Amino acid sequence: MWRARLGGLQQTAASLAAIRARPVLRAVADIVAPPMLLEGGRREPALSPGLSAEAWSRIRFIEAPVCDGCGAPQPYDAGDDARCADCVSRSRAYDRARAAVVYDEASRELVLRLKRADRTDLAGLFALWLLRAARDLVREADAVTPVPLHPLRLISRRFNQAAEIARPFARHAGLGYLPDVLVRRRPTPSQAGRSGAARRQNMAGAFAVPRRAWSAIEGRRLILVDDVLTTGATAEACARALKAAGAAGVDVAAVARVQAPEPEPI
């Protein structure tokens, strides 16, 4: 018995020593490989990893109240389930959407650095932004899945930016991560410059759930993760495929949301 107790004390002492050593090891690591700012054309040393104060000041975070359907910012709080006129006038394949920031020049720079400049270190930051913006979706969700790339696009880009964000988001949210339940069946031309109707037509039938994956999503509420929400055409096509395979619900969480232009005063 005394040997067992001695062994327990030794393990406790070793654990305490490891905890005390962490600040020292972190300080050494910061000297060898200093934390870097995440914005800018080059990785600049910083006191802590993340964005600079100047970069933070330019990011426009989306705050409540928002439309419960599309996640668009609203001028006043009309209740938890209130929806904007656009959501009331037409139904969408997905149930609800949330976005962390407004898609503008500042956020666009960061999103494109992840997507086109291999800055996968931004994905963890974006995941934390999503956790804040989609906290009400997380409470009702079972699992997270990213918007997929077509295999040819994945080969050329080497990684799926939505998956890079979705993975740490699922981990922080304590939800299951399902990276392969949704596939893009055909390559789709760029959505840039297309109208909402043209975007929806471009995405029609582009996604599917393989029969082997149906059991993984049947009866479950999913959060679909993407980098940017524009008209919602891609999210709708994905949600339609997921629900056809048995998903009980599909919500959307995007890092940035394109804001509709305000109507001109009469």
Q: How many domains does the chain have?
A: 1
Q: Is 111 within the bounds of a domain?
A: yes
Token pair belonging to 170:
């699922």
Query: Quick check: 131 pLDDT over 80?
Result: yes
CA dihedral 13, 16, 18, 23 (to 10 degrees): -150
Q: Is 250 within the bounds of a domain?
A: yes
Check: CB of residue 233 under 8 Å from CB of residue 259. Answer: no
User: What gap in Å lies between CA 100 and CA 96, rounded to an integer?
Assistant: 14
Q: Is 14 within the bounds of a domain?
A: no
pLDDT at 150: 85
Q: Is 131 within the bounds of a domain?
A: yes
Q: Is 45 within the bounds of a domain?
A: no
pLDDT band at 26 (very low <50, low <70, confident <90, very high): very low
For residue 154, what are the domain limits?
64-257
Q: Is 54 within the bounds of a domain?
A: no
Q: Is 30 within the bounds of a domain?
A: no
Check: CB of residue 145 under 8 Å from CB of residue 166. Answer: yes
For 39-56, the pLDDT digits (tens) are 665 455 544 456 778 888
Q: Which residues pair with 249 in a beta bridge?
A: 221
CA diameter of the chain: 86
For 162-213, the pLDDT digits (tens) are 999 999 999 999 999 999 999 988 666 555 555 566 666 666 667 999 999 9
Place of tokens 């740490």: 168
Q: Is 262 within the bounds of a domain?
A: no
List the CATH number of the domain containing 91.
3.40.50.2020
For 93-123, the pLDDT digits (tens) are 999 999 999 999 999 999 998 888 788 889 9
CA angle 44, 50, 55 (to 5 degrees): 80
User: What gap in Å lies between CA 171 and CA 152, rounded to an integer?
Assistant: 28
- The whole-model pTM stands at 0.79
Query: Quick check: 125 pLDDT over 50?
Result: yes
